[in-house]
Every structure is written in C-alpha cells, then in structure tokens.
C-alpha cells in the first residue's frame, strides 16, 4: 500500500466510498491521518463504519479544520449540478482531489505514464503494462482501469506507474506531470458532466498539463478534435510529440499501413510488425491502440524487438472483443465494455456476419453513427431498457431483430440462429452500446454473465464437430 506519510496527523475527508474510496480511506488511516468519510448510500456508509471509520455527513458537519477532501471522480462536482458537499468545500477554500493526486504527491520519484481517450484507453493501458513487464521493467498499472492506485506497493525511483485516466480523474489530479502522456481519441461522451463538448475536450487536454522537453506527448490524429489539439501542441513546441494513426502514414509518428505497424519516429518509416500477427489486437481501433502502446514503450526507452515480442503475447482485455468460446465455427465475443455507440462501432467493423446482442441503459447518442455497419448484421437481439428505442432505430435501417428482454434469452436465441445458419466467419457479438445498470451492477458483471451463458451452450452441445475448440477461450 502507498505510504501517504505527508498526511500524518492531518484531518482529511473522503467523499464516496466505492472501491477506490475505501482504499483511499484505508491508506490515509494507515499513514496516520485523521480520516472522516461519507457516502450518500447508506450501505456504503455501513460498510465503512464496520471497518471502524468515522462516518460524518460532510453536507452538515463542521469542515473548518479541513484543507482536503478526497473526492470520488464519479460524483458531480461542477456539471450538471455540483454536489452540495462540493459547493460547501469550495466556499471554504477546501481542495477537491482524487486518489491519483494523493499518489502523485507520495511518489514523486517514479516515472508516470498517463493514458486517456474516449475509447481504447483500457486496452492501451493494459498493453503498455504488459510490454513493460515482459521487458523486465517494474510497473504499477491501474487508475480508471479498476485497480485503486493507493493499493499499489511503493513504486520508487527508476520504476514506472502506468495510469488509465478518465476525464473525471484528470480534473481532480493537479500535481502529476506525465513523462509520457497519451491521448487516443475524442468523441462525444460524458457531455452533461463537463457542461458540453468544449468542457469534455478541455478535460482530456489536461493529460498534457505542464509537459516540457524531454517529456513525450503521444496523440491520435484520426479525429478532428485530436488533430486540433495536435496542431496546438506542435505550435507550442513544449514537448516531444509523436502522432499515431490507424488510417495511414503520419510523419514522425507510428501508424498502421498496408497491414503493418510502421515506426517513423526516427524518420525511417520502418515496418516493425505485421498486424495480423497480433491476434488479440484485431480491427482498426486496436491498430490505434497498438500504435499508441508501441510509441509509449519506445519513448520509455524499450528496444523495438522487445516491444514487438511482447505485443505478440498480449492476452487481450477482458470484456473488450474478448473471445469467450467457439462452437461449430461460430465465435462468441464478449464486448460488454462497449457502453456507447462509438465503442460498439469498433466491434461491428471487425466481424462479419454478426448476430448482434445489444441494449441496456442507452446513452444520449443512442446508436447514431452505426448505420454504415448494418450490412454486417445478420440479426439483432435486443435487451434492457433501450429495447423499444433500438427496435425503432433498427426498423429504420431495415435490420431484422428479436426482442429478448434479458441477456440469457438473447444469448440462447443468437446462438441458435448462428448455429442453424452456419455462415462462414459468423460471430455472436455482445456489444451493447449501452450502460449495464438497468440489469447488471457493471459491464464486468454483464460480460461475465454472457461468458457463463456461452459456456453452458457449449457444454450442452459437447464436441464442436469441426475440430475447433468446444471450450471457453
């Protein structure tokens, strides 16, 4: 656990007692701080009280001796409406920070790599961590990815901290200057939380906060917003800048072209690996992730052969185009992490034909932008709150669908149709384009349920009959 020695004997509050919030409270207490905690959820308060924490309603308690509240990034503190505790804190001059800021203040001597973007940041963060570990580098990997950063073992000088950074976390992290900062892409998401698109873009740009030479900015240039940021960085000239692209050559960067990953950071446009040799990085979106990870690890000083060798052994990311089983040539792919249309687009562009399971709690953008992929969809299977909304959208696209309601029914019906039709290359794809909260606690639970249903279908069928694996991958 990270030692927050500088907080010893200081009063500090923790607002929000989820996984990271509780980890923060524990780290503070173990470091000798005087800790008060609060969560609007009674069950979360009870869990904290059971661990012996002082549960104090921060909306009404005396906060005059506090200088810091460690804030759960998921709780609104500005838009669309600031939480009352945030309003009180700001009126009293109390700083709001997240757990990653505490980490940065405690670990000033390690190297920091920060990775953000609307989509792909979890895969890229995991891939960078995998490459560093394979090359023998000590690296702590976490942040928005799921591992609370204050549960890390002490990191220290000469080692690396690889952090997936959400826009929420970037707004609450002030002192870390990333040695290597990665911005993959920007598409509309979380707009209500940032007061619109301009606020969202501004939050993402914070990944490059205070970077100076020889620090490195790795930035995707496949969308208009990031191209504008790239141009601004180049004009400022404050740091080394390596552009990346999944769509073709970019001078001085890393890109995918003609089926290869190409490194032009030294001006030599050298082919480094054939993309088909990276089986867990299928599709153009993953080519961007591969380019970003390659550039990041090269900037970190790893030799190219070591980077390429490690990329080829990457196991992939759970719940992101994860192959969970194959039966009679039909692939079953868990893409539960695709909680918006832009993320689902990546999966729809990768597979064909598709028996598509979708639905849940819809985002504001719905299925907009997916029209061009409907020729790949053999049939759609609808679940959750968005069922009727998505049915109307599919009607307009001329795509056949079945209302299934729940994921178990959808998985069974999709598998039945795919196995009956036996089309070459077919894929039963869970890529919901929705949040999971109407039926599942999170996208991980949704993906795990899908994998379990697939395992049951495969077990019921026994051997595949075509030499492919009948088990769960």
118 is in an annotated binding site: yes
Of the residues 121, 205, 230, 363, only one is catalytic, namely 121
Neighbours of 41 (CB within 10 A): 12
In Å, how far are 7, 62, 100, 239 from 30, measured between CA atoms? 10, 24, 17, 38
In Å, how far are 110, 254, 258 from 250, measured between CA atoms? 31, 7, 14
123 is in an annotated binding site: yes
Taking a C-beta distance cutoff of 8 angstroms, is the pair 186, 118 a contact?
yes
Q: What is the C-alpha separation between 118 and 67, in angstroms, rounded?
A: 32
Residues facing 161 on adjacent strands? 112, 140
Of the residues 77, 83, 130, 144, only one is catalytic, namely 144
Q: What is the C-alpha separation between 65 and 113, in angstroms, rounded?
A: 34
365 is in an annotated binding site: no
| Cα angle for residues 202, 94, 50 (degrees, 5° grid) | 105
Cis omega before residue 405 (within 30°)? no
Taking a C-beta distance cutoff of 8 angstroms, is the pair 252, 262 a contact?
no
117 is in an annotated binding site: yes
- 121 as an active site residue: the answer is yes
Residue 387: strand, helix, or coil: helix
- 144 as an active site residue: the answer is yes
In Å, how far are 34, 237, 299 from 214, measured between CA atoms? 39, 11, 10
Residue 334: strand, helix, or coil: strand
- The percent helix, strand, coil of the chain (3-state, each to 5) is 40, 20, 40
Phi then psi for 44, rounded to 5 degrees? -70, -40
Residues facing 429 on adjacent strands? 333, 356
> Quick one: 34 exposed, middle or buried, by C-beta within 10 A (0-12, 13-18, 19+)?
middle
Q: What is the C-alpha separation between 292 and 449, in angstroms, rounded?
A: 31
173 is in an annotated binding site: no
Of the residues 190, 413, 445, 461, only one is catalytic, namely 190
Q: Which residues are catalytic?
A: 121, 144, 190
Annotated binding site for ATP: 117-123
* Residue stretches of the annotated binding site: 117-123
């Amino acid at each position: 656990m990270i030692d927050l020695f500088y907080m010893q004997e200081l009063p500090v509050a923790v607002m929000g007692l989820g996984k990271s919030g509780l980890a923060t409270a524990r780290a503070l207490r173990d470091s000798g701080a005087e800790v008060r905690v609060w969560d609007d959820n009674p069950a979360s308060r009870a869990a904290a009280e059971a661990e012996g924490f002082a549960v104090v309603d921060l909306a009404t308690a005396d906060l005059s001796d506090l200088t810091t509240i460690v804030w759960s990034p998921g709780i609104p503190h500005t838009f669309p409406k600031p939480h009352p505790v945030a309003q009180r804190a700001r009126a009293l001059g109390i700083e709001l920070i997240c757990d990653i800021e505490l980490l940065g203040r405690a670990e000033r001597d390690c190297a920091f790599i920060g990775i953000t973007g609307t989509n792909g940041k979890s895969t890229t963060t995991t891939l960078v961590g995998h490459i560093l570990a394979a090359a023998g580098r000590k690296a702590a990997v976490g942040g928005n990815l799921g591992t609370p950063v204050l549960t890390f073992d002490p990191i220290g000088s000469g080692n690396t901290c690889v952090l997936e950074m959400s826009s929420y976390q970037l707004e609450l992290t002030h002192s870390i200057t990333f040695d290597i900062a990665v911005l993959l892409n920007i598409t509309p998401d979380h707009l209500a939380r940032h007061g619109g698109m301009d606020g969202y873009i501004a939050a993402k740009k914070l990944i490059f906060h205070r970077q100076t030479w020889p620090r490195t900015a790795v930035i995707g240039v496949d969308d208009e917003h990031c191209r504008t940021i790239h141009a601004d960085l180049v004009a400022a000239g404050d740091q080394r800048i390596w552009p990346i692209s999944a769509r073709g050559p970019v001078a001085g960067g890393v890109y995918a072209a003609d089926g290869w990953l190409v490194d032009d950071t030294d001006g030599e446009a050298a082919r480094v690996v054939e993309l088909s040799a990276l089986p867990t990085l299928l599709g153009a979106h993953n080519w961007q992730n591969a380019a970003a990870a390659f550039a990041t690890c090269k900037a970190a000083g790893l030799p190219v052969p070591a980077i390429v060798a490690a990329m080829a052994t990457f196991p992939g990311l759970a719940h992101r185009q994860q192959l969970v089983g194959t039966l009679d040539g039909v692939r079953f792919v868990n893409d539960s992490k695709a909680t918006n249309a832009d993320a689902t687009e990546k999966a729809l562009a990768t597979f064909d034909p598709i028996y598509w399971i979708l639905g849940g709690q819809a985002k504001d953008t719905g299925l907009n932008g997916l029209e061009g992929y409907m020729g790949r969809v053999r049939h759609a299977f609808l679940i959750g709150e968005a069922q009727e909304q998505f049915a109307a959208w599919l009607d307009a696209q001329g795509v056949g669908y079945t209302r299934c309601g729940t994921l178990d029914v959808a998985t069974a019906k999709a598998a039945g149709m795919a196995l009956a039709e036996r089309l070459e290359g077919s894929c039963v794809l869970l890529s919901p384009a929705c949040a999971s909260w109407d039926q599942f606690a999170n996208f991980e639970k949704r993906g795990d349920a899908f994998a379990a249903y697939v395992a049951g279908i495969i077990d019921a069928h026994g051997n595949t009959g075509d030499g492919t694996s009948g088990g769960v991958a």
